Amino acid sequence: MSTTAETDTHTEESRRAALRGGILGYYADQFDIFVPIITLAPAMIYFEPADTSKSTAALIAAAVFAATLLARPLGSAVFGYYADKVGRRITTMVAVAGFGVSTFAIGLLPGHQHLGMGAIALLIGLRFIGGIFLGGEYATAVPLAMEWSPRRRRGLASGLITCTSPLATASIAALSLFLLSVIPPDGVDSAYVQWGWRIPFFIGGLLGIVLFVYYRNNVEEAPAFEAAEPTGSPLRELLGGRHRRDLAQVFVLMTGAWLLTNVAAAVLPSMLRTEVGLPDRTVSVILLVSSLVCVGTFVGCALLSQRVGRRRFYACFGVVSAVAASTCYVLLTTLGPDDTVLATVLAVGVQTTTISMYGPIAAYLTERFPSAIRATGYGVGYSLALVIPAFYAFYISGLATITGTALAPVVLLVVGGLLVALGGALGPETKDVDMTTGGATEPEPRP
């Protein structure tokens, strides 16, 4: 009896350690992804020529963000392959160390005054390298955490992991608000432009090192990986084998998800500044408020999917997103700088009806693939769909000739929502899938 009790205790401790690792890893991942949008945006003049036009500056900012997004599928494929072959734990350690170093290195970059256009090239290059490791992190740490989670808790576990995305955004917004208040970005020679923006990048780099130490000392490999049936190339099995239809369905859903994300996370902050006319500090406050609200809606959506099923959740959420998010965005375009309260409410509406769909995503994508290719399937499925939405700035530029600049993102919101609904409807129900074995994903019998 004592041996059984000790085994159960050890198993529960391993589950908690893996879940904590997934939570901390996803937080660091999202922190490093979104820090340029909020923290670096007021200091981009540090990297740009003095005569840079607004349109060129917008494209540069989009390129900095897109560099990471475009690199993530590559990182997911590479690290997912090794996670399925040699283990989730060791590949997670390599990935978190890699993005920690690359993020820290960005904080050391010289500006246009020292390197000319080479400063922008280095910034984009390091963001690309960091994106490879970031793609590797979530392709390894999240499946590891979900494989340790029992079926009845997978919705909650998923919500706890993914809600760190808006929590990371809230952290960045709060830090940026503090820095902008203490050292305002008043020209290229101001303290914020010269060194203030570096602080969040140093923090992001340190998070990677902390995670490396945590996984080395606390996290164990999941039994599902040990029980996995041997396979050839996980990537070949995913792209050309019997799971290619599963990947295609996930690709449709995630393409819609990333279109929604890019509008809510990248376009919305800029729109609040340029179209509504709100100052940087006010935008930081709005992003902080909306992100904190989304922490709750992420967990709520994850729990809802555990109750009604992942398939029904995504089929319905996509329709709600297409209608509600686009309506809120259109109303935002009618506001001015004096409508701060209403702008906050509508911005919260846009974000909660778009990015909250990520609440159950950690559970859903890991449930879609068997253990032998789970890390590859999760990582590639999550990030391959990044490629098309990554060029959102060009789509908006083209759509603007028809709808006008202010309303062009609304089209992406509608298309994104409909793709999420379609992708969800095309897929099977997965919440009862058995992930405790290494075999094919089949529903567990209900107790």
Give 433's strand partners.
Answer: 443
87-102: buried (b, 16+ CB within 10 Å) or exposed (e) per residue?
bbbebbbbbbbbbbbb
Q: Which residue has the higher pLDDT, 11 or 157?
A: 157
Residues 110-147 pLDDT 10s: 888 888 888 889 999 999 999 899 888 888 888 888 98
**C-alpha span between 396 and 41 (Å, rounded):** 19
In this structure, of 48-62, 335-349, 431-445, the range with the lowest mean pLDDT score is 431-445
Residue 229 in contact with residue 439, Cβ under 8 Å? yes
Element (H, E) at 240: helix 234-240
Residue 277 in contact with residue 337, Cβ under 8 Å? yes
The reported pLDDT for the residue numbered 80 is 87
Domain boundaries defined on the chain: 2-221+235-426
The reported pLDDT for the residue numbered 230 is 59
Instruction: Provide the 8-state DSSP code for 352.
Output: H
- CATH topology classification for 2-221+235-426: Growth Hormone; Chain: A; (1.20.1250)
Flag whether pLDDT at 220 surpasses 90.
Answer: no
- Identify the CA nearest to 57 among candidates 40, 73, 74: 40
The reported pLDDT for the residue numbered 443 is 42
Please give the structure tokens belonging to residue 237. 């099995």
Neighbours of 365 (CB within 10 A): 26
Please give the structure tokens belonging to residue 396. 């908006």
Give the C-alpha distances (Å, rounded to integers) separating 267 from 168, 303, 340, 405: 18, 29, 18, 11
Please give the structure tokens belonging to residue 400. 């603007």
**C-alpha span between 41 and 193 (Å, rounded):** 10
- Identify the CA nearest to 92 among candidates 143, 17, 127, 126: 143
Flag whether pLDDT at 58 surpasses 80.
Answer: no
Report the mean per-residue pLDDT for the chain. 86
Between the ranges 28-37, 170-179, 187-196, 417-426, where is the mean pLDDT highest? Answer: 417-426
Torsions phi, psi for 149 (to 5 deg): -90, 130
* Region 213-221 average pLDDT: 88
Flag whether pLDDT at 9 surpasses 80.
Answer: no
**C-alpha span between 148 and 140 (Å, rounded):** 13
The reported pLDDT for the residue numbered 229 is 64
Q: Which residue has the higher pLDDT, 106 or 49?
A: 106
Instruction: Provide the 8-state DSSP code for 437.
Output: S
Residues 245-292 pLDDT 10s: 999 999 999 999 999 999 998 889 888 988 888 987 788 788 889 989
Measured between alpha carbons, how far apart are the two ends of the chain, in Å?
Answer: 24
Residues 324-380 pLDDT 10s: 999 999 999 999 888 999 999 999 999 999 999 999 999 999 999 988 888 888 888
Flag whether pLDDT at 72 surpasses 80.
Answer: yes
Neighbours of 239 (CB within 10 A): 15
